[in-house]
A and B are shown apart, each in its own frame.
Chain A
Amino acid sequence: MNQRIPVTELAPDFRGRAEEALADGQLRNNFRVAMDSLMTKRANAFPDADEREGLRELGNRLKAGALSRLPDLLEQLEQKLTENGVKVHWAETVEEANDLVHGIIEARKGRQVVKGKSMVSEEMEMNDYLAERGIECLESDMGEYIVQLDNEKPSHIIMPAIHKNARQVSKLFHEKLGEPETEDVNQLIQIGRRTLRRKFMDADVGVSGVNFAIAETGTLLLVENEGNGRMSTTAPPVHIAVTGIEKVVPNLRDVVPLVSLLTRSALGQPITTYVNLISGPRKPDELDGPEEVHLVLLDNGRTGAFADAQMRQTLNCIRCGACMNHCPVYTRVGGHTYGEVYPGPIGKIITPHMAGLDKVPDHPSASSLCGACGEVCPVKIPIPELLQRLRQENVKDPEQPQQVKGGGAKYSRTERWIWRGWQMLNTRPGLYRSFLWAATRFRALAPKKAGPWTENHSAPVPARRSLHDLAARHLDNNGGRPS
């Protein structure tokens, strides 16, 4: 039973995929409508700008503080979880993580896994890994379920099926499940729910992600709105949580403002319908809960980001998705265009550490640096600044030692010479003024085609006289030419 997911028969590079997405009117409309609604919801969730900014500053300091003690906190977390009866596993790579998860399932002779929503498990491509080993892994989050059913990948980190509208989901359910077509969202949810309910009861193992791992108490916190997280983590006899090492926070007090930032930034909710605090397996006197609880802590390039003070800020991320909701590029091209697990602005700054910059060489350039992402980030990650940094890493000489995995992917001798020429022009006033003189006097000779610029614009024609000329003449007339 091979259900290999990278289905997507999309173009091989970002620009190609973007072009395809831009030509899909339905897709663009789905994203525009959804992102507009999410932006409004977030704005309404923070009616007081001062309170919002204060909370963002607090969120930033809490995450920065936790990261500054990351190794210590992780050790404390491991110790406390172990005391609580949770088995802690460490994985440096996704292969190791998958192997660990597979080992736990095999030890119980598990064949059916039900999964709550987890982006780290997407990073691991866990479904494929397990499927290839004869283990069925069913997504229980409604959005994840929809994309799994359609052999797709999530297009958004918190709303995996946001690229589809109700009609498309209805059609999918009709084709795959034989259900009558309906565009009533509630009915669609009921269809998914009926299918999933049975699976929760039958599953041997439940897998979930983690929003915050609390070191002081050894608690795993999981927010969700559908109850599938609670079902996945309590109904099956074994619960495996997978998460990235950056999710650890010192204590429950710190979690309060962070959860508030997360739920308000993500969906504009004051709090999610479910907040699960998982503190260990079923105790002897308890009636329910899993018999075993495991936590797999994954690195997958995060320590690479951690090692650089500037890029370490990437690890502040609490995965709310606000950056993509507000991104004019994401809104137009959708999540699949990014071709990686994490799309949008956060994807552009985190994927290089995971996959290598050479795997995603166009990502840092796919931004107008408009700053909308940085403006809404609940933990104040300076996303535009990090994109600019990655652009520098991207054009470094590949022969030199690299600071980011796969750096130097966009190195071009020709482009470097162009910029050297530009530098010469702009640092030699005589040369620059000669250029202005020639460009304005021979404006009629301006090329009618100017590379990609003239795909969207008329050819730029210089003015008759430059400001240098006009200002000199004007200021001469006005009594002297000061400088």
Chain B
Amino acid sequence: MSDLFYDAAPNATRVAPEREPERQYPEKPEAITLFGTCVVDLFFPEAGLDAIRLLEREGVRVHFPQEQSCCGQPAWTSGYREEAKAVARAQLDILDRSGLPVVVPSGSCAGMFRHHYRALFDDEPDTLKRVEALAERTFELTEFLLKVCRVQLADRGTPSKIALHTSCSARREMNTHLHARELLQQLESVERVDHDHESECCGFGGTFSVRMPEVSGAMVKDKTRSLMDSGAVEMVTADGGCLMNINGSLEKQKESFRGRHLASFLWERINGASEGEVA
């Protein structure tokens, strides 16, 4: 029987990593770098701008390096490791220039910095040190507002019922899905309603949505149905990918129900109405 193991590498067995201890948060920094993410950049820029405003309101100076582009996720999840790595390296270089904490208005892109860059650079010990440092100082927006800024939101909007969609990355990778809930709880006149199968994926999955449009389409249809059936007047989410998927599907279905980014929702609530800086 030993010939069955002819090619086997002995002692190569992997044990699952220890459970991560609860994240310890630093004091509020003076300045941060906002990593906008490519989806927000092109399709939801007002959400990025509202994130900047929310952060500035907390007295945090926001840097937005103009050299930033995409975190590398699309290629990484498609199996194109080298291409993903090149793009990741470019972002790493840009973010390391200031070394400031990085705030990301999207769970899955934050998850790239926090988790997947390690896998991308596991063969480069020196880069891996920089990657570890980046993981340490990366925060998803709602996490940063709640846990680092300890934000207090005074609601100035009219009573409203909303549904919250938390991305799978926020829920399972970043453990930040409860932060958005807590932020919404601070808003006096906002009622968050549960929707059916809330923890289930919206079906986006990056290139999954175009590689498997049948399955992805069925998933997003179910998600939009349960959001509309929840009794909410709109949906909020802190992830650009999910937002593009859910809103795109709603528009295709000719439904008037829409979702929007949590940053924009929060900014509007604490100001009574949205400011019109967007061109």
Contacts and interface: CB of A to CB of B under 8 A. Distances in A.
Nearest to A311: B14
B213 A456 contact: yes
A452 B80 CA distance: 20
A312 B83 contact: no
B251 interface: yes
Specify which of A245, A332, A385, A471 lies most central, judged by the most chain B CB atoms within 10 Å of its CB. Answer: A471
A299 interface: yes
A275 interface: no
Interface size class of B (residues with CB under 8 A): 35 or more
B25 interface: no
A370 B8 CA distance: 31
A470 B49 contact: yes
Nearest to B76: A388
Interface in B18-73: 18-19, 31, 34, 36, 38, 40-46, 48-49, 52, 56, 61-70, 72
A422 interface: yes
A456 B216 contact: yes
A460 B77 contact: no
Contacts of A303: 4-5, 7-8
Given A312-B14, A368-B201, A472 B208 contact: no
B66 A468 contact: yes
Interface string A442-483: 000000000111111110101111111111101100100011
A391 B1 CA distance: 32
B5 A67 contact: no
A328 B279 CA distance: 39
A429 interface: yes
Given A365-B208, A440-B42, A329 B215 contact: yes
B79 A15 contact: no
A26 interface: no
Contacts of B78: 391, 395, 419
B5 A306 contact: yes
A439 B79 contact: no
Given A380-B16, A423-B83, A328 B203 contact: yes
Nearest to A365: B211
Nearest to A423: B83
Interface stretch (A53-61, A111-119, A222-230): A53-61
Interface stretch (A68-76, A130-138, A180-188): A68-76
Interface string A364-377: 11111111101100
Contact of A464 (B200, B221, B278): B278
A429 B215 contact: no
